[in-house]
Amino acid sequence: MWMDHHDLLREFPDEAQAILALRERNGHFDALCARFDAVSAEIVRIERGKESAGDAQLHTLRLDRLKLKDGIVALLRQG
C-alpha cells in the first residue's frame, strides 16, 4: 500500500512559515529538507510501481526519511 508524497509543509502546517524562513537562512536545514523531499519522492515512485526496489531497499529509504524528518524537527525547535 502506498501513500502520498510526504510534503513537509503539509505535514507541519503550523510550522510552514518557520520552515520557509529557516530554509532561506540555514543552508544545512535547506539541504536536509531537499534530501527529505528527494527520498520521499523516491519512495512514492517505488510504491506506485514507477521504479523497482526490494523490500530491504524500501525499508532503508523509509528509515532515512524518518531520520531526516527527526533532524528537521530538531532544527525547527531550535529556531
> What average pLDDT does range 5-20 have in this prediction?
89
The domain ranges of the chain are 13-78
> Could you write out the DSSP letters of every residue in 12-23?
-GGGHHHHHHHH
pLDDT of residue 4: 60
> What average pLDDT does range 8-18 have in this prediction?
92
pLDDT of residue 43: 94
pLDDT of residue 6: 67
Q: Which pLDDT tens digit goes with each residue over 15-58?
A: 999 999 999 999 999 999 999 999 999 999 999 989 899 999 99
> Nearest to residue 9, comparing CAs of 61, 66, 76?
76
What are the grid coordinates assigned to 36, written together?
527529505
